[in-house]
Amino acid sequence: MHTDSDFQEQPNNPLHGVTLEQILRYLVRYYGWRNLYYEIEIRCFYNDPGIKSSLKFLRQTPWARAKVEELYLSLLEEQKMEREFETDPTL
């Protein structure tokens, strides 16, 4: 049984509330399958790539999932810095 504390917000966790599927779709939209493969050399991104098959692999392979989450977080940070620079180019 879940308690209220199980569902507390995690303000310091940028992945909280974001599903692996959402992360993967975001990365595919940004990079495309081929470039995503060049960023993270995971064969399922190169050989007949697809969301469903990639999700299955990532859910079963912790090191691969960690690499995808790491790339996602670094991309978000990069985009955040670009937005900040656009609003204040003296940074």
What's 18-87's CATH class? mainly alpha
Specify the pLDDT at position 88: 67
Instruction: Provide the residue ranges of all domains of the chain, joining segments of one domain with +.
Output: 18-87
Q: CA-CA distance, 71 to 68, in Å (whole number)?
A: 5
The pLDDT tens digits of the residues spanning 11-63 come to 678 888 899 999 999 999 999 999 999 999 999 999 989 999 999 999 999 99
Type of residue at 42: I
Q: What is the pTM of this model?
A: 0.78
SS3 content of the chain, % helix, strand, coil (to 5): 70, 0, 30
Residues 6+ apart with CB under 8 A from 54: 24, 42, 44, 45
Task: Tell me: pLDDT of 80 over 90.
Answer: no
Specify the pLDDT at position 82: 75
The stretch 57-80 carries a mean pLDDT of: 94
Task: Tell me: pLDDT of 79 over 90.
Answer: no
